[in-house]
Structure 1
Amino acid sequence: MFTGIVEEIGTVRDTVRNRLVVEARGVLDGTRMGDSISVNGVCLTVASLENHGFTVNVMPETLRRTNLGELRYGDQVNLERALLLGGRLGGHLVLGHVDGTGEVMSVVSEEDARIVRVGAPDRLMRYIVDKGFIAVDGVSLTIADLDDVSFAVSLVTYTMGSTTFGGRRTGDIVNLEVDILAKYVERLKGREEQRLTPEFLGEYGFKGAVDVG
């Protein structure tokens, strides 16, 4: 589990088949083989460690669902080590299980901030609410605005300088992970509604006509 507070920007050094080699320094501190590291918001297991980086294996499903399959030599990625029990939760709870990708629709400067609008599929927009959380390429961000097909986030100077957002442009593909709490609420709501149906009551022994209105 992660917080969405990026610790370091890493640089891709190899992308052979399902292997990703990332040059990094800060996130290597205390990291061992088998530990989890978030790479652009994707939770990956460290397969090997080098003096100036680490290697992870990326499954085909992950390559299809995220933007990791588009990475090339020299590309930059957001890195974060797994949250330590008792550590500060500066962002929000991020699992590192990317739900899908979105496309940067616009990048607009507004005084000291930068407003980035991202188009997202319907199946993810249903979980996005005004002033709620979302992880974009592993960065914990607050929704500043949204419509039926997209949402906007406001980036301060620090975020632009300490993450890959400083180089994001229109048309770029970004990883999205919606707030897990929204999924739990939907799941629980669905079960509550199910309890009110005749089929559900019949399944649990209540036979005959049942008025649930």
Structure 2
Amino acid sequence: MFTGIISAVGHIQSLEKRGDDMRVTVAVGKLPMHDVALGDSIATNGVCLTVVDYSSTHYSADVSAETLRYTGFADYRVGSRVNLEKALAANGRLGGHIVSGHVDGVGTVTRVIDHTKYVEIWVKAPDSLAKYIAHKGSITTDGVSLTVNQVNGAEFMLWVIPHTLEETVIGDYKVGTKINLEVDLIARYLERLLQGEHAAKPTGSSIDEAFLAEHGFLNKK
């Protein structure tokens, strides 16, 4: 479990294809490694990776074909900068929001507007994620916990302060940048809970307008 509060920015040191999977080695920058052990989790641009090798300057992890398919890792190159956060300790402070490190999809930056005290960034999410993105709700972008300030269909807007721009890879964003998105975990569980007994039905059953009306969530005309 993570918080979305980035500890350091590292960069991809090497990428090694292993069949359909990949071994990635990340130079950790200023991320302290004294308390890291084999098997620990480190969120890398929001993707929870398991440490299989490490030193004071780097760690290596295996990235599955599934992760390559559903995250930005397929497009990363040696030198690509990545946000880093170690897993939350049980006695740690939850400074952002509950982040699982399981990316839901890849969004695209559509606008970057510079203001005096912040930068306004618009992101187009995959259509399938639009229902989970709410005004003033939480979203994770490349592992960073942020607040959604506007929503327009599957597009949403973020206000990012200078400190966040300086301490994360968000400062590198430009129109067309692909970013890992993780929606609010509570929204995911709420959707499943609302399905009730229908949750046991085979994949393909989903919550739609007819389902909501049947169960009293919409006014029947």
TM over 0.5: same fold? Answer: yes
Aligned residues between the structures: 196
2:81 aligns to what?
A: 76
* 1:166 aligned to which of 167, 171, 176: 171
* Distance across 1 between alignment mates of 2:34 and 2:43: 15
Q: Is the 8 A contact 1:12 1:74 kept in 2?
A: yes
Note the residue ranges of structure 1 that are not aligned, 5 or more in a row.
196-211
Identity in percent: 41
* 1:32 aligned to which of 37, 52, 57: 37
- What is the DSSP-based 3-state SS (H/G/I as helix, E as strand, rest coil) of the residue aligned with 2:129? helix
Listed one character per residue, the Cα deviations across residues 141-195 of structure 1 (whole Å, up to 9, x for unaligned) are 0001111120011100100000000111110100000001011111112217x59
Q: Is the 8 A contact 1:107 1:116 kept in 2?
A: yes
| TM-score normalised to structure 1 length | 0.88
* Distance across 2 between alignment mates of 1:118 and 1:186: 23
Q: Is the 8 A contact 2:42 2:49 kept in 1?
A: yes
1:205 aligns to what?
A: none
- Amino acid in structure 2 at the alignment position of 1:169: K
- What is the DSSP-based 3-state SS (H/G/I as helix, E as strand, rest coil) of the residue aligned with 2:176? coil
Cα shift at 1:26:
1.8
Matches within 5 A, 1:152-163: 152-163=157-168
* Distance across 2 between alignment mates of 1:2 and 1:180: 12
* Distance across 1 between alignment mates of 2:193 and 2:56: 47
Listed one character per residue, the Cα deviations across residues 40-90 of structure 1 (whole Å, up to 9, x for unaligned) are 000000010123111111001101100011111111000000000021100
Note the residue ranges of structure 2 that are not aligned, 5 or more in a row.
200-215
Matches within 5 A, 1:81-120: 81-120=86-125
1:3 aligns to what?
A: 3
* Distance across 2 between alignment mates of 1:137 and 1:120: 13
- What is the DSSP-based 3-state SS (H/G/I as helix, E as strand, rest coil) of the residue aligned with 1:26? coil
Cα pair distance change 1:27/1:57, threshold 3 Å: farther
Q: RMSD across aligned C-alpha pairs, in angstroms?
A: 1.7
* Distance across 1 between alignment mates of 2:34 and 2:171: 25
Which one has the largest radius of gyration?
A: 1
1:209 aligns to what?
A: none
* Distance across 2 between alignment mates of 1:103 and 1:10: 22
- What is the DSSP-based 3-state SS (H/G/I as helix, E as strand, rest coil) of the residue aligned with 1:181? helix
